[in-house]
């Protein structure tokens, strides 16, 4: 199916901008976001809000943790990727994505598996940018969109965010990778807080689970259905920060991604996006996404960091136009 953008969005002059009320701005953003989605439809993968197990690691065998350290950032724990791949046949997987990625020897099967089991290079780029910028997240509401292993959201949680929601296309990624990783880090934090005591492992698991229930949410499904699910919540959440890494590889997804930003980002919030210049084989990349964003005229996009090694990569931010 051909994918096209047919928008006719009038330019705002400085004079009319000054006269605009906040309500008018919100209405204008809504209209532009609606226009962006009007020309695109695809098969929907229903969104699911996942319920947390007491101990998400208890149903996973042969898991091995590793520690990721970047600059002055707090250590981030995650399941070792190589061990995870080798033990994939042993895991629960109603979507059968683990078997499909192995048999097809692919890190990405569009519309089936969107790459969430792998930690991609641009995630590290964004973590390094956060370290260089000295960003902290005290009191912030954060969405880790297309979260995969969840490292960006976990960092926000460790640095004081009051609420972090994790979203990935695949439920298997959320249940088998994201939740266990977040749990590992919450349990580690509990151990650090209680250095002089040794609570039983069940109590540590309970402490970590209580922290997750209070501060975290976990969601799977495509962005269109995820947005509908969040809009139906009372109140609908607004995030101060949205992290998203390696999510603009396919131009077919730009409209639904843009709509999530439009509807779920707080008016004073910021999106941090890390990406490659171009994604060979799937066609997306930063230049095409910038053109899409500029055409919709809702967000201002700003370059924050360039990485020259290998295939050129970037960290950019998006904020609402004032």
Please state, in angstroms and rounded to a whole number, the distance separating the CA atoms of residues 195 and 41: 53
261 backbone φψ class: left, alpha, beta (φ>0; ψ -120 to 50): alpha
What's the whole-model pTM score? 0.83
State the architecture of 60-187+203-320 in CATH terms. Answer: 3-Layer(aba) Sandwich (3.40)
Asked whether the beta carbons of 102 and 88 are under 8 A apart, the reply is: yes
The per-residue pLDDT string of the chain (322 residues; one tens digit each, 9 = 90 and over) reads 333 333 333 334 444 444 444 455 555 555 556 554 444 445 689 999 998 776 777 767 678 899 999 999 999 999 998 888 777 777 777 888 877 777 777 777 878 888 888 899 999 999 999 999 998 899 999 999 999 999 999 999 999 999 999 999 999 999 999 999 998 898 766 555 555 444 445 555 556 667 677 899 999 999 999 999 999 999 999 999 999 999 999 999 999 999 999 999 999 999 999 999 999 887 899 999 999 999 999 999 999 999 998 889 999 999 999 8
| CB contact set of 309 (below 8 Å; sequence gap of 6+) | none
Please state, in angstroms and rounded to a whole number, the distance separating the CA atoms of residues 58 and 284: 39
Q: Map out the domains of the chain as residue ranges.
A: 60-187+203-320
Cβ atoms within 10 Å, residue 58 = 11
């Amino acid at each position: 199916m051909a994918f096209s953008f047919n928008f006719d969005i009038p330019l705002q002059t400085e004079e009319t901008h000054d006269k605009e009320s906040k309500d008018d701005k919100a209405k204008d953003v809504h209209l532009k976001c609606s226009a962006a989605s009007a020309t695109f439809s695809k098969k929907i993968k229903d969104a699911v809000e996942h319920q947390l197990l007491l101990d998400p690691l208890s149903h996973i065998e042969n898991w091995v943790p590793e520690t990721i350290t970047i600059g002055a950032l707090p250590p981030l724990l995650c399941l070792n990727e190589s061990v995870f791949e080798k033990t994939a046949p042993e895991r629960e997987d109603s979507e059968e994505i683990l078997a499909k990625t192995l048999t097809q020897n692919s890190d990405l099967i569009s519309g089936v598996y969107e790459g969430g089991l792998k930690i991609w290079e641009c995630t590290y780029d964004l973590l390094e940018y956060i370290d260089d910028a000295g960003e902290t997240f005290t009191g912030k509401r954060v969405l880790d969109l297309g979260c995969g292993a969840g490292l960006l959201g976990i960092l926000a949680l460790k640095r004081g965010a009051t609420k972090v929601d994790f979203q990935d296309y695949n439920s298997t990624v959320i249940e088998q990778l994201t939740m266990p990783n977040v749990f590992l880090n919450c349990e580690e934090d509990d151990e650090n807080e209680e250095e002089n005591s040794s609570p039983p492992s069940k109590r540590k698991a309970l402490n970590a689970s209580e922290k997750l229930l209070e501060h975290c949410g976990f969601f799977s499904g495509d962005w269109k259905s995820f947005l509908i699910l969040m809009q139906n919540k009372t109140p609908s959440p607004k995030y101060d920060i949205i992290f998203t890494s390696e999510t603009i590889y396919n131009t077919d997804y730009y409209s639904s991604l843009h709509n999530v930003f439009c509807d779920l980002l707080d008016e004073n919030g910021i999106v941090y996006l890390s990406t490659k210049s171009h994604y060979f084989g799937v066609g997306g990349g930063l230049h095409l996404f910038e053109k899409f964003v500029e055409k919709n005229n809702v967000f201002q996009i700003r370059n924050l960091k360039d990485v020259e090694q290998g295939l050129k990569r970037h960290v950019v931010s998006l904020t609402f136009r004032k």
